[in-house]
Amino acid sequence: MPDPILVGVTRTVRLRIAEGADPVATRAIASTQIEWAKAIRFYTDLFLEHPDVYEEKKTVRARKGGEHEVSWTGKDLLTWAERVSVRTEDHPTVLHDFSEVCPQMPVTLRRAALNAASGAVASHLTNHKQWEKASPATRGKEPGEPDPHPNLTLYGGMYHLDVERLRKGGCRLKVFADGRWRWTDVPLQMPPYALDLFTQSEAEQARIAAERAEQNARMIAEGREHRSGEERERLRATPGVWVAQSPTLVAKPEGLYLHVPFEKRVEIKGKAEERRLAEPDLKVGTIDLNADSTVAAAWEGERCKGVETVWHAEENAKRERALRKVARKQKASGTPIKGERSNQDLWGYIRNLDASLAWQVAARIVAWAVALGLQVLVFEHLRPYRPERGLSSSRRTNRKRSYWLRGQVLRHVRDLALREGILVVERNPAWTSQACPACHRLAERLSPSGVGYPSRLHCGHCGWSGDANVAAALNLKLKWDRTFRYPTAAERKAAEPRRAGNSGATADPETVPTAV
């Protein structure tokens, strides 16, 4: 049995600052963002003025003895920047006085701006060096000035997001108002599940604080300076418990938000391939993603426990209708003007439709997997989209976006499944929707009505007949087990006439994805 692995996962809860907030508080938040931007600009200019600090070295002693040189760490850069920008008794003379730009800024906020500027300048210098080394014919434009992220991260001492205040619908933030930094109450709009997450986090943080105090007292009594490995582990969050991290103040066109990341440690019982070999009764789900539906089959060992289908043909049709409308409007208005974006409302509708559908399908798949206790989800490895000949512009664009949508669903499933300790793997999709899941020979794809897309699969050898997407989900289990029987060259040649005449069934699964 493989050794379990603890991995960290993150989710973000978005708390909207209520539109009816005190205008004074709203102005104070805007002033705080201005101060943050000034602090970042100050330290960005400072690091650009002294790029040689990124080449500085320091001597460290190795655990096994001996000394060697290493580059400065982020903490070393922070120490240097504060020494040349903040007046103290130890260094009363500075190169540039930070207090003249942002007077009385809290230390945690100043250091957050310093670290953001340091990382942005380091990235800029690296990109610029690579640009200088590249060939002038292929290197493109010179990298622009570093642009640190504008959103304001609030570290400890800058916010109070305790459960008692959240129950009353608000929080406290330290903001810049009337030339000084002060606390202000801010009303919040929260999703219904947020309070449960904050309650769980507050209880875990209280446990860690009590454990740390107990360890400190024990270390003083025993005359120790360092914690043991077991003591350090007890100071970490309990696996499976969400713990809130420092929030970020984000300005969007529709208003201000506090983005609060939550972290959780999840126990994974080894890698997928190791578990396949070690656990013959592993619970596995095989999923076939398609434009109109998603078919999932649940397995426990060799026994299929059921098949679930999630239909989204209606959303696919809505997208195609919107794309046809875009094509008609564009045709009526003539050649598009370079640099101008037409039909913005329609494109926004299409993007929102796809984004919402991707999350809905992913959530349905993961909820189904959790309900059945599945431990691994197997998907087809999605290939790049290759347009077919003879399609209209709107149909081709719709097909392209449906391929993109399946990639988004897979990406969301990876994220959501990992939070539940479920692994996601991919397998080659070749022949999965064209091979009989009973006798494993090539079958015939056909349309029930005789026209249109061949959605059914009929095997002339054993008589099995069913939905081609269900067959693909069943065959993916053979791909997972490494027992899938690939057709021989003679079988492919014999089946070619049947497959080529089936109203658009794919003729070569190695070059065109089987899921359309």
Give per-10-residue mean pLDDT for the chain (516 aa). Answer: 83 88 80 93 95 90 78 92 92 91 92 93 93 89 86 90 92 90 91 94 96 95 91 93 94 90 93 90 94 92 92 90 89 76 88 94 96 95 76 81 89 94 93 90 83 81 90 94 90 69 40 35
Q: Are 439 and 464 in contact (CB under 8 A)?
A: yes
Are residues 34 and 162 located together in one domain of the fold? Answer: yes
Residue 466: helix, strand or coil by DSSP?
Answer: strand
Domain end: 180, 206, 234, which one?
234
In this prediction, residue 181 carries a pLDDT of 93
Report yes or no on 82 lying in a domain: yes
Are residues 378 and 301 located together in one domain of the fold? Answer: yes
Task: Tell me the one-letter amino acid at 489.
Answer: A
What CATH number is attached to the domain comprising 379?
3.30.420.10
In this prediction, residue 452 carries a pLDDT of 65
In this prediction, residue 498 carries a pLDDT of 56
Report yes or no on 325 lying in a domain: no
Are residues 184 and 314 located together in one domain of the fold? Answer: no
Are residues 30 and 176 located together in one domain of the fold? Answer: yes
Are residues 51 and 108 located together in one domain of the fold? Answer: yes
Are residues 355 and 303 located together in one domain of the fold? Answer: yes
Q: Give the ranges where 373-508 is alpha helix by DSSP (H).
A: 393-419, 468-481, 489-500
Residue 57: helix, strand or coil by DSSP?
Answer: strand
The count of domains in the chain is 2
Report yes or no on 138 lying in a domain: yes
In this prediction, residue 21 carries a pLDDT of 59
Q: Determine the Cα–Cα distance for residues 117 and 37; give it in Å rounded to an integer.
A: 10
Token digits for 356? Answer: 């919402």
Are residues 367 and 286 located together in one domain of the fold? Answer: yes
Q: Determine the Cα–Cα distance for residues 21 and 253; give it in Å rounded to an integer.
A: 16
Are residues 224 and 285 located together in one domain of the fold? Answer: no
Report yes or no on 395 lying in a domain: yes
Q: What is the model's pTM?
A: 0.80
Report yes or no on 29 lying in a domain: yes
Segments forming the whole domain that contains residue 491: 270-319+351-500
Question: What is the rounded (10 degree) CA torsion for 438, 443, 447, 449?
Answer: -80
Are residues 355 and 453 located together in one domain of the fold? Answer: yes
In this prediction, residue 511 carries a pLDDT of 36
Token digits for 11? Answer: 């989710």
